[in-house]
Amino acid sequence: MSSTVERLEEVTQRACSVLQRSAANLLPPSASPDQHQGEVPSLVQQITALDDDALSRLMSDAARGRAEFDTIITVAAGVAAKRSERSQGQAGLAQRNGHRSAVGFVQSITGSSRGEAARQVRLGGAMGEADAAEQLLLMAPDGPTSRSDDSPTGDDSGADAGTGREGGDAPKPPKASAALPWNHPVTSAVGAGVIAPASGDAIVRGLGGPSPTCDSETLRAAAVEMLDEARTMHVDELFRTARRLRDEIDPAGVEERWQRRYDNRSWIMRRNNEGQLTAYVVFDDDSGVFATQVLDVALSPRRGGPRFISAEERAQADKLLDDPRTNEQLAFDTMLEVLRCGAECDESTTFRTHRPAVRVLVTRDDESPSGIADGIGHLEGSDDAIPLGVVEARLCDAGSQALIVDSCGNPLDLGREQRLFSAKQRTALRARDGGCFWPECESPAWACEAHHNNTWSKDHGRTDVADGVLLCKFHHLLLHNKGWKIERDTSPGGTRYLLIPPASVDPERVPIELRSKSAAWLHHRRRTLRRCMTASGRTAAPPPAALVART
CB 197: neighbour CB atoms within 10 A?
26
Instruction: Give CA 79 to chain center in angstroms.
Output: 29
Contact present, 82 and 125 (Cβ < 8 Å): yes
So what's the pLDDT on residue 81?
92
So what's the pLDDT on residue 38?
55
26 closest CA partner among 49, 44, 43: 49
DSSP 165: P
Q: Which residues of 65-85 are buried (b: 16+ CB within 10 A; e: fewer)?
A: bebbebbebbbebbbbbbbbb
Strand, coil or helix: what is 458? coil
Contact present, 340 and 481 (Cβ < 8 Å): no
pLDDT, block means (10 residues), the chain with 551 residues: 82 90 77 56 90 91 91 93 87 88 92 91 91 82 50 41 38 49 92 90 92 91 89 87 90 88 92 89 90 82 63 72 83 83 54 55 74 76 73 58 53 43 72 85 81 55 66 82 82 75 89 84 72 50 47 41
Strand, coil or helix: what is 482? coil
d(CA 201, CA 198): 5
Q: How far is CA 423 from CA 312, 415, 446, 497, in A?
A: 18, 14, 12, 22
pTM of the model: 0.61
So what's the pLDDT on residue 233?
85
Instruction: Give CA 204 to chain center in angstroms.
Output: 13
d(CA 219, CA 245): 10
So what's the pLDDT on residue 537?
53
Q: What are the pLDDT digits (tens) for 514-551?
A: 888 887 777 777 777 666 654 445 444 444 445 454 44
What is the four-CA torsion angle of 191, 192, 195, 196, rounded to 10 degrees? 40
d(CA 414, CA 404): 12
